[in-house]
Amino acid sequence: MLRPTPFDLATGTLLGVAAPLPRQPVPAGVPDPLDALDAAVLAGLTRPPCVVSFSGGLDSSLILAVAVRAARREGLPDPVPVTWRFTAAPRADESDWQQRVIRALGIGGSWQILRADDDLDLVGPVARRLLHRHGVVHPVNLHLHLPIAELATGGALLTGAGGDQILAGWRRPPATSLRGRLWWLRHTARTRRGPAEVFPWLRATVAREAHRAQRAEWRAEPRRLRQRIAWHTRRRDLRMTCSTLAALAAEHQATTIQPLLDDAFLAALAVRCGDHRGIGRDRLLAEIVRGALPSEVTAPRRKARFLEVFFRAPTREFVHGWDGTGVDEELVDAESLRRVWSHWPIPGGTASLVQQLWLAANPPDSARRPERADIDVEVKS
């Protein structure tokens, strides 16, 4: 399993891009992108239970729809969609789209719903199990996949990892008119924040280093889809996410499959859509699907926000009671961190520090049996 460095944990960033590979010729007979996705999910369907981490967002809806279609064509067991539902987190609520997609695919009988209150907090009961077993991993919210991986024991776990990077997240294109450029310059001058504003809990020299590296990586992101695919698949962020998911599933004798990062799919997408710049995720998915799946799968929808799922009572209690010890003092200014944590909500960039310092204060007890969260599981019929 790839692990974050002390710098990653302190700054709340995971920067770095591997060197590009030598340019390869485009292979003959590259499949259609949807056919390539079909082949990727088929490997999971032949190893039941094939569990799909299904949020109701565009990426997971696409993976589930392709898996359902492939399973029924091949006479295999239906995939098992597993969904989290959260209390007191309205911006994370995707239940309407979840139900629409499930109904359109006719797969409600195998749908499993997990319900969480404070269970998925950064240092809540599910996260504690992962922290005591593996320490702090990337991303900090990966523990939400622990109960899903347990349901996939002996089978396969399919996720939409890579969708936010490959299919979305385009930077604003540069203005072409003089008026547009002047507006952009004024907007940048008003909103630009320096290192001390972005990373107020870090030592000044570390904040400047992190700020420079972050801005350099943002500027290096390609604008054309073909180059974006190659660039994002070399980023430490995405590689570490896939490494941790694979390790989590392997503990339960399951395999992970990330169809949106499948080599054949990415090659087909680059050939079919590689010249696009700034295309919306819904439009790109519609171009991939080309009417072969129910319209509910690719219909535009609001992007959910999950901070209120992971920053809840256990985190608030810990940061407000933190005694100021345990930080890497070469990287973090403890007094500045205490000031930052004296206000709620705390910056998302300090999430890794929350977990690191909680673990330092609550080390695993080798004599105690691992804690297991009591998650309410509802099977729809």
Does residue 169 register a pLDDT over 90? no
CA dist., res. 179 & res. 184, Å (int): 9
Model confidence, pTM: 0.92
Q: Is 82 helix (H, G, I), strand (E, B) or coil?
A: strand
Q: To which H or E segment does residue 337 belong? A: helix 334-340
State both tokens at 193. 């924040």
For the cut 90, the answer to whether the pLDDT of residue 280 exceeds it is: no
Q: Which helix (H) or strand (E) is 83 found in, with range?
A: strand 80-86
Looking at residue 171, what is its pLDDT? 60
Single-letter amino acid code for the residue at 58: L
Q: Name which residue leads in pLDDT, 189 or 113.
A: 113
Q: What local confidence, expressed as pLDDT, does residue 367 receive?
A: 46
CA distance 316 to 362: 16
The string of pLDDT tens digits covering residues 110-123 is 999 999 999 999 99
Mean pLDDT of 260-285: 92
pLDDT per position as a tens digit, 60-100: 999 999 999 999 999 999 999 999 999 999 999 999 999 99
Give the Cα separation of 3 and 92 in Å (integer): 28
Please tell me the least confidently modeled range out of 25-29, 123-127, 168-172, 354-358.
25-29
- pLDDT, one tens digit per residue, over 225-259 is 999 999 999 999 999 999 999 999 999 999 999 99
